Amino acid sequence: MKKNTHILLLALAISLSLSSFAQSSSKDDDEEKTSGFKKENLFTGGTANISFFNGATMLGVSPFFGYSINKWLDVAVSGNINYISQRDYQVYGDKARQTTYGPGAFVRIFPVKFIFLQAHYEYNFINFKYLPAANSGYLEQKEKLHASSFLIGGGFSGGRDEYNKSYYYISLLFDVAKDKNSPYVDGLGRVIPLIRAGYNIALFQHRK
């Protein structure tokens, strides 16, 4: 529990620190004539998740809604639903299947317009099902679990610039929290690389 709390606090601290710095920096921007909320900085979009790793298959979607604080920093809230299937090759035929869903939030930093770094916190509710191999002597199991994940990584974006926040992207993320119930960690505690691709849609924005 303490580990999960620390991860959440770290994610919030990163978001708040970067937001404060970005807002201070924006005061020096000649193009910023007014401060405060601007509806043209809002964006939405969605991500398709896919991953294959050591007998694990992961498929899912993750919609989001966010705000561009400035030309190099985006923050957003998100949701996700995933289906994961794992096979344990050390115990022939054993399978684990789970459906996960839950809320999250992320920060994206663009050091250049086509490359970004991302920190993404998720809290997942998990419906887990264990299917033992035939004649193994084990019984089928069902559980309801939960887990916190702190995804770190980066990616490539296409079509994004200072005046256009609609773009496609692909990213590679890793769960550094490694909660034993995380959908992004296999049964042996190994982190499953997570590939996410999607599209970011600018709202109320007029291209200059």
- Tell me: the pLDDT tens digits for 99-122? 999 999 999 999 998 999 999 999
Any residues with CB less than 8 A from the CB of 191 and at least 6 apart, and which?
174, 175, 176, 178, 184, 185
User: What is the tally of helices (H) and strands (E) in the chain?
Assistant: 1, 8
Cα distances (Å, whole numbers) of residue 83 to 44, 75, 99, 153: 23, 26, 5, 21
Amino acid identity, position 35: S
Per-residue pLDDT at 132 exceeds 80: no
Domain ranges in the chain?
Answer: 2-27+42-202
10 falls in which pLDDT band (50, 70, 90)? low
What are the tens digits of pLDDT across the range 146-171? 999 999 999 999 988 777 778 999 99
When the candidates are 2.40.160.20, 4.10.110.10, 3.40.50.1820, 2.60.40.10, the CATH number that belongs to 2-27+42-202 is: 2.40.160.20
Strand stretches in 132-175, DSSP E:
141-158, 167-175
The pLDDT value recorded for residue 146 is: 92
Q: Model-level pTM?
A: 0.74
Query: Average pLDDT of the chain?
Result: 80
CA distance linking residue 43 with residue 26, whole number of Å:
19
The pLDDT value recorded for residue 189 is: 83
